[in-house]
Amino acid sequence: MTCLDRRDLGLLLLRLGTGGVLAAHGAQKLFGWFGGHGLEGTGQFMESVGYTPGKTSATAAGLAEAGGGTLLALGLATPAAGAAAAGAMAGAATVHMPNGFFAQEGGYEYAASLGLAAAGLAVTGPGRLSLDHALGHVFDRGWMIPAALGATAAATALVIGARNQRLRAKREGEQEVLFEE
C-alpha cells in the first residue's frame, strides 16, 4: 500500500466509526432506537437543560447527528456533514461542561471528541474511498469548508448563547435559602 492508500483507508475507518456513532445517537433522539427516548423524551430533556423549545431542539440535534453522521460515514458532502455534527456536539458539550472534562464524571470529553473528529473530517476531506470522490467532489469544494464551519459556528454560538441567557435568567429569579431550618 502506498501512503495515499493508507491515508484513504484511515479516513474511511475514521468516517465509518465517527459517522456511525453520530448516526446512532441521532437515531436515539429522532426514533427512540438503541435505548433512546425519541423526540418526546429527548425534547423534555432538552427543555430541562435550557434548549427551548425542547422538541424542536431535539429534532435539530437529532438531524445534525443522524444526518451528519450518515453523510460522514458515506463520505458525502463532507464539509457540511462534519460541520453539522460538530455543531451538535458543541451543544452537547456545553450541557456537560459543568461536570468537568472526563466522561466518567458526566463531563464533556465524549462530545468534544466526536465534535473534533467530525470537524477534522470536514477540514481534511473524506479521502478517495468516498461518495464525494466518486461524484467528483461536487459537494466537497474547498470554499465549502470555511462556509460550512463558519455558518455552523455562528448558528451554534447563537443557540448556546440563548440557552445560557435563559439559564442565567432562571437562576436570577430563584431565591437562595438564607437560613437552614
CA 7 to chain centre: 24
CA distance linking residue 107 with residue 123, whole number of Å = 26
Chunked into runs of 10 residues, the chain (181 residues) has average pLDDT values of 80 98 98 96 96 96 98 98 98 96 95 98 97 96 96 97 93 71 65
pLDDT at position 171 is 86
**What's the 3-state SS for the chain?**
CCHHHHHHHHHHHHHHHHHHHHHHHHHHHHHCHHHCCHHHHHHHHHHHCCCCCHHHHHHHHHHHHHHHHHHHHHCCCHHHHHHHHHHHHHHHHHHHHHHCCCHHHCCCHHHHHHHHHHHHHHHHCCCCCCHHHHCCCCCCCCCHHHHHHHHHHHHHHHHHHHHHHHHHHHHHHCCCCCCCC
Q: Evaluate whether 122 touches 86 at the Cβ level (below 8 Å).
A: yes
What is the per-residue pLDDT for 47? Answer: 94
Residue 1: the pLDDT is: 54
Among candidates 120, 121, 118, which has minimal Cα distance to 130?
Answer: 121
